Amino acid sequence: MDDTRARFLAAIATQVPPERVAEVHLFAPIRQGGLESGVAVVALERDAPDAPDVLDAANGAEGADVADGAPDVAEVRRMDAPQRYVVCTARYRHTLKGPDRGKWEVSVTEEADAPLVTVDAVVRGVQRRSGDVDEIVRLSGDELRAALPAPASPAA
């Protein structure tokens, strides 16, 4: 991994909790003139349990007993549904030439929520439509955390 990508990952980790990162997809950077920019798709684990399903309210599932101990429709639906993740887009812009040389900007924006299989499909679709021949780098949350610089230890 090059220094720019390592710097980008570290900047992302300052804006989202690294322990919540499930995976990161890094697109190839683009250089135009004196600027370099890059994009990543970040999937984060939810920080709170899902809100009650709409069906819960319709079925009166708030503590209601279901005949014969069978789960209600909303509970079955939650058991079958794939886990959803918060999907964010991270962008950086690095000025390589000119009076602002060295300027570094990073933003992370929450875009959607989706299962990881959907995130992977969307990332591949974007790559295909853009005609990008470079492979997208996929890092698991553990790989991202391993790539981050170790926190400074407190002076004794």
Q: What is the pLDDT of residues 140-152, one digit of tens each?
A: 999 999 998 876 5
| H or E segment and range at residue 123 | helix 116-130
pLDDT digits (tens, 9 = 90+) for 23-77: 999 999 999 999 999 999 999 999 755 544 433 444 444 444 445 555 555 555 5
Better-predicted residue by pLDDT, 76 or 80: 80
pLDDT (0 to 100) of residue 64:
45
Give the closest residue to 24 by CA, choosing from 44, 50, 46, 3: 44
Torsion of CA 39, 113, 83, 1, to 10 degrees: 10
Burial-class residue 88 by CB neighbours within 10 Å (0-12, 13-18, 19+). Answer: buried
Does the global pTM surpass 0.85? Answer: no
Better-predicted residue by pLDDT, 80 or 74: 80
pLDDT digits (tens, 9 = 90+) for 98-145: 999 999 999 999 999 999 999 999 999 988 888 877 788 999 999 999
Instruction: Count Cα atoms within 13 angstroms, Cβ side, for 9.
Output: 26
